[in-house]
Each structure stands twice: as structure tokens, then as C-alpha cells.
Structure 1
Amino acid sequence: ESEAAAALSDYSRQETAATRAAAKGRDLGARLLTAQALHLQGQALRSLGRQEQALARFEEAERIFRAAGDHVGVGSALHDMGNLLRDRGDFAGARARYEQALEIHRQAGNQDGIVLALTNLGGLELQRGDYQAAQPLLLRVVDTARQVHDPVGEARGRSSLASILQEQGRLAEARQSFLAALELFRATGSLQGEAGVRASLSMVLLDLGSLPAARRQVEQALALSRKIGHSRIHGYALRQLGMLLIEEGHLVEAQTAFREMQRVAEQTGHKQLLADAMGGQSQIQRLQGNIQLAREHATRALVLWTEAVELQRVARGHIALARLALDAGDPATAEKEARTALDRFRAFRLPEGEALAHEALATIFLARQDATSADREIRLAQGLTKTSQDRRIRLAIAITAGRIRGAMGQLGEARRILAQAHKEGTTLGMPFSALDAELALAEIDRRQNRPGASANLQGLRDQATRRGFLLLARRAAPEAPTSPR
């Protein structure tokens, strides 16, 4: 944060000098310099997480710009006010500022400002989960930015479109769109844009199963966010790092990343970051077998996501609570949470989200020993992800499908599915998933009383315990079945 703090100090000196000059001669140029310095102070304060002070600077700058008739300055201040309000989950306030800015830029014929306003409005709808509203706005951004030779505006539009493609499961297209945005940001020297895109790209690569490439991107994002002192992007990159570390099986390191993210979120007052930090810690605590604490963190995350109007996160939060309720021996609550998630994902038209909800329901029915209903749900999940590029989701569904086939007595098919899942998890470098599939295979051997099956199962349980995967170790005990991830 040192660069942002130094910039804030410099802008404060500029403001003081300009204010004195304006007071002496009531010079228009001096007043505009004061407004510009206040605006820059607000940007630096936002980067440092000091939101109330930042908002006050933006409002004062906007007032001076408006009095001086500087339409570009007014629009810029409104954009930054909207961004800050969006950080705080005030979507109505953010939309009002963006729409005011759009109208001002249209009146002034400021094409760059129009691009920025459309980008912000599209990003707002994206955050709310309204892709039908977001996509045409963002396509207009890309087209308009090209026409007026605004590479940064085009990069922002492409990055936001990539986020939509990612949510829709079109990962290869999302990757290409992020890479195009990255090239534009790098060409213009925008370190902030580059850091944000690299963090987002890392999650696409993780979903594609390219863990080493994902790590390279997230490490560069973290380095850049530290360099420019941008707290929000730094927190976002920490989330991506934490998710990657969970998949790699490094739970202690992942916990460290999410705790640092929580610290950043609490310092900045950014609800979405805090919710993501709570959600990440909940995942780790669940894998470690601490179900009660995991439920507390997951519940808090859901409340924060709801307050921040992060609707996709809310849906995923219900799935997390469904799994935790089943882990705690409450299948009725688990089913209620899973069906809530299913309804939300259907409303968003996100088939992979629907598939996750069906997989959770399949797990619940399996725990109730209702293999027929479980099979129905898992087949729905498989149908929804038949062409999915998300290898993490397909792997989780495959492991659950293998367990269900085993429960139905289709042992040959169960072995084939689980052996392939174990191979996939090992190849991708996802030890939790690989061990989960291997344990499921060992459980089938035990039920068939194969020689050495019990010893093999115990060895795998010991391995899970050593790695910190107490959820898996307990699941292997027949008296305490729990839900797959």
C-alpha cells in the first residue's frame, strides 16, 4: 500500500496549493486543480480501503467540477462514486451514479466517458447475475471502444464478457477473452487492469484443470496488486490463491491466504471480499472435519453475500450449507438448502450450477439409502454437464455417480467410474478428489470382503488424516457417512 499512500500524500499537497491559489484569486484553473486533486485523493483512499473518506473526496470534487462546468470531471467523479458504492453492496446508489455519468458524457459527446459508463452498468448487471441485461451493454462497450480507439475501455469490456462466459461454463471462450483483455491492458501499461485480469484468468485455468498455469497467473496478480497498493484486487487474488491451494491439498496455506483476505476485507469494509473469505475458510474447516465452525462461517458468508447482492455466490452458499447440514446429520435441512440453490441457478440459466445442486441432492438421497432417487438426481447432473469444460465439477459428479452405482449393486460400472475419477484427480494434481475416489473404491472392496480390503481402507483413512482431510477419514467409517464435496 506504500505507493497508494505516497500518492495520497502528494495529491493532498496539490490540493492544498490549489485551494490557496483559488482563495486568493478565485481562479477557475485553480479551482479545477483543487477538484482534480480531491478526485485523485479519493482514488488513493479507495485503494487503501478508506471508503468513507474516499466518498467525501469524490462528492466534493464532483461539486467543484459541476460549479466550474467541467462535464468530464463530473462524469469521472460520478463513476468513482458508483464504483465505491458498488463495493459496499449499494447497487441502487451505484446504478444511479453510473446513469448520471452516462447522461453527462452523452451531452458532452465524450465517447471515452460513454464507454466507461456502459462498462460500469454492464459490470453491475453481471454482479447481480442478470446476464441478459449485462451482455448487450458489454458488447456495445467493445464496439464503441474500438471505434474511438480506447484500448483500456475495450479491455474492460472484454474482461467483463469473459466473466459472463466463465459463469456460463464456456471456459475456453472465457480464457481467450481474458487473454485478449490482458494483452490490451499490458499494451497500455495498466497494472491495475492487468492484475485484475490475471486473478480472474487463474480461476478459469483452475476450472479447466490447468493448476500450474493458474498458479502462475495468481502469483503475478498478487505481485502486481502489492506493487500498486490496490487492496480490493489484492483481496480478490488472495481468494483465487486460496481456492487453488485447496485443490492442491495445501489446507494450512489456504487458510493463511483466506485469513489475510479477511484482514484486507475488514480494513476496507468490502462485504464481498469478507464473504468470500468466510466462505473459503468454511470450505477448509469442512475438509478438516470441523463441521460446526464451518457452518458458522458458511452462514455468515451467506448473509454477507445476500447483503452485497452477490446472487451467484448466494446460490453456491446454499449448496455449501446443504453439504454441511448433511455432514451434521440433518438431511431435511440439507435438502431444503439444495433445492433453494437449484431454484436460484435455474433462474440464472446456469446449467453447471444446476448440476451442482442436483449432485448435492443425489448425495442427500444416497445418505438416506434411497439409491433410486439418488441415481435420478445424478443423471440429471451428468446430463447438464455432458459438454462441460469444467473438469472440477465433472470430477465431483463422477465420484458421486460411482458411489451411487456401487450402492445399486452395479459394481463393475462403479469401479470403472471411480478408477477413472482417481486417475483424473491424480493427473490434475487434485489430491482430495483422487483420494475421495480411491476411498470409494476401497469401500466397495470392503463390502465384497476382498482380501486385504479392510487394511487397505484403513491405510487410506490414515493417509487422509495425515493430509488433514478428516472429512474423508470419517466418511470411510460405515457408521458415519458424510457428503462428498
Structure 2
Amino acid sequence: MNQETNQETHPRVAEALRWYQEAKILYAQGKSLDALARYEEAYRVFVEHGRYQEAANAAEKMGDLYFHRGSFDKALKPYKIALDICEEYGDELGTAILSEKIVYVYKELRQPEKALPYLYRALEIAEKYKDAHRAARMLAGIGDVYRKQGRYQAALEAYELSARIYRQMGSREQAALVEKALEVLRQEMSAGELPPDHPD
């Protein structure tokens, strides 16, 4: 990949920036496939000219479009590309946001075990920046994954911590949802095991 060294914006980059803005308009008009094509064109130019922040933004938008169209497997690659760029350049907020988006993709794909590393990465950043709401949300997600894996004690601990954070924040509705999951989990633990294909 060639880094753009001159301070002035290369004409191709300027064109790609226009495509990026056009894609936003196309999406707002309901033309998601046209928007996707524009984002892809812009992404290729950004990478070619070493404009990695813009490349990450375009890749994230591509992932969003695939996700909203229900093409969850196709959303993974651009999300992971954007995540790698954010990680490489120390953009921890972007890393947390993209990690959470990847979690949602794996949830839709019914592959919760693959979401665990991303849940923990987002949790790590949330704890670093004292983002209690994100931390509680990630802990609840971790609890969900462990519960589905049959790791009930780990699920219990994650749920309890999530519920405690929500209560401390005064987020009663979210706390109640996690406490409901806790109640069901305790009932399942006392019964000995989860029934097959137990619904969420």
C-alpha cells in the first residue's frame, strides 16, 4: 500500500471523498446497493493512498449496509478490516464500537462462541474509560454466551456484575432484564442442566 506523502489531497482521494458523501445520500434515498458500490470504490482508493482512517470509515459503512440487508456473513469482513485499522492506529473508541458490531453479527449468525473475544475486548476498553453502560452490556453478552456453552457459574458471575452496574447507574429497565436472565439461569442450574435448544 502506498502512503500518500504530499500534504495536498490527491485528486483520486478527493474523488473518493465525494463518493463517500454520495453513498450516504444514496443510502438515505433507499438505494443501498448503489451506496454499497460507492463505499467499496471509495474504500479501495483510500487504501491505495494510505488514507486508513477514511478506509476504516468506509469499511464500517460497508459492514453496516450488509448487516441491515441481512447479509450477516458478508458484514464480517469489512467490520474486521475496520477493526484491524482502529487497533493498529490506537483508536480505542472505534475498536470498542466495531467489536460490539461484530458481536451482533455473530449473534445473528448463531455463533455466540466466536463473539467472546470481541465482547472481552469491548469490555476491556469500557473499563479503561469507565464506560459503565458499555461494560454492563458486554458483561450481559458474556453471560449469554457462557450460558449457551453450559458454563453456568461463569454466566452467573457475569450476569450478577452486569446487573449490579446497571443498578448503580440507575438503569432500572436494563437491570430488570439482566435480573430476569439471572432468575431463569438459577432455575436452570438448580434443575441440573439446560434443556436442548433452550430459547433466549
Q: As a proportion of its length, which structure holds more helix?
A: 1
Within a 5 Å distance, the mapping from 1:14-93 to structure 2 comes to 15-16=39-40, 19=43, 22=46, 26=51, 28=53, 30-45=54-69, 48=70, 50-85=71-106, 88=109, 90-93=111-114
Which of 130, 138, 146 is the equivalent residue of 1:125?
146
Within a 5 Å distance, the mapping from 1:405-444 to structure 2 comes to none
Deviation at 1:118, TM superposition (A): 0.6
Residues 73-102 of structure 1 show CA distances to partners (whole Å, capped at 9, x for unaligned) of 212322333444455564543322322332
CA contact (8 A) 1:142 1:157 kept: yes
Structure 2 unaligned blocks of 5 or more: 1-29
For residues 82 and 76 of structure 2, what CA distance do their matches in structure 1 show? 10
Within a 5 Å distance, the mapping from 1:176-191 to structure 2 comes to none
Residues 138-161 of structure 1 show CA distances to partners (whole Å, capped at 9, x for unaligned) of 121122134345577546524533
- The one-letter code matched in structure 2 to 1:97 is Y
Residue aligning to 2:196: 313
For residues 135 and 13 of structure 1, what CA distance do their matches in structure 2 show? 45
For residues 166 and 27 of structure 1, what CA distance do their matches in structure 2 show? 49
Q: Assess, with a 3 A threshold, how the Cα gap between structure 1 residues 101 and 7 changes in structure 2: closer, same or farther.
A: farther
CA RMSD of aligned residues (A): 4.0
- The one-letter code matched in structure 2 to 1:65 is C
Residues 333-379 of structure 1 show CA distances to partners (whole Å, capped at 9, x for unaligned) of xxxxxxxxxxxxxxxxxxxxxxxxxxxxxxxxxxxxxxxxxxxxxxx
Structure 1 unaligned blocks of 5 or more: 1-5, 170-309, 317-485
Deviation at 1:119, TM superposition (A): 1.2
CA contact (8 A) 1:85 1:93 kept: yes
CA contact (8 A) 1:119 1:138 kept: yes
CA contact (8 A) 1:35 1:62 kept: no
- The one-letter code matched in structure 2 to 1:115 is A
Q: Assess, with a 3 A threshold, how the Cα gap between structure 1 residues 77 and 11 changes in structure 2: closer, same or farther.
A: farther
Residues 158-215 of structure 1 show CA distances to partners (whole Å, capped at 9, x for unaligned) of 453354266479xxxxxxxxxxxxxxxxxxxxxxxxxxxxxxxxxxxxxxxxxxxxxx
Residues 451-478 of structure 1 show CA distances to partners (whole Å, capped at 9, x for unaligned) of xxxxxxxxxxxxxxxxxxxxxxxxxxxx
- The one-letter code matched in structure 2 to 1:101 is A
Deviation at 1:313, TM superposition (A): 0.8
Within a 5 Å distance, the mapping from 1:17-416 to structure 2 comes to 19=43, 22=46, 26=51, 28=53, 30-45=54-69, 48=70, 50-85=71-106, 88=109, 90-148=111-169, 153-154=174-175, 157-158=178-179, 160-161=181-182, 163-164=184-185, 167=188, 312-313=195-196
Larger Rg: 1 or 2?
Answer: 1
For residues 7 and 112 of structure 1, what CA distance do their matches in structure 2 show? 34
- The one-letter code matched in structure 2 to 1:313 is P
- The one-letter code matched in structure 2 to 1:129 is G
Residues 293-324 of structure 1 show CA distances to partners (whole Å, capped at 9, x for unaligned) of xxxxxxxxxxxxxxxxx95216x9xxxxxxxx
Q: Given the two structures, how large is their TM-score scaled by the length of structure 2?
A: 0.60
CA contact (8 A) 2:102 2:115 kept: yes
CA contact (8 A) 1:39 1:77 kept: no
Q: Assess, with a 3 A threshold, how the Cα gap between structure 1 residues 14 and 148 changes in structure 2: closer, same or farther.
A: farther
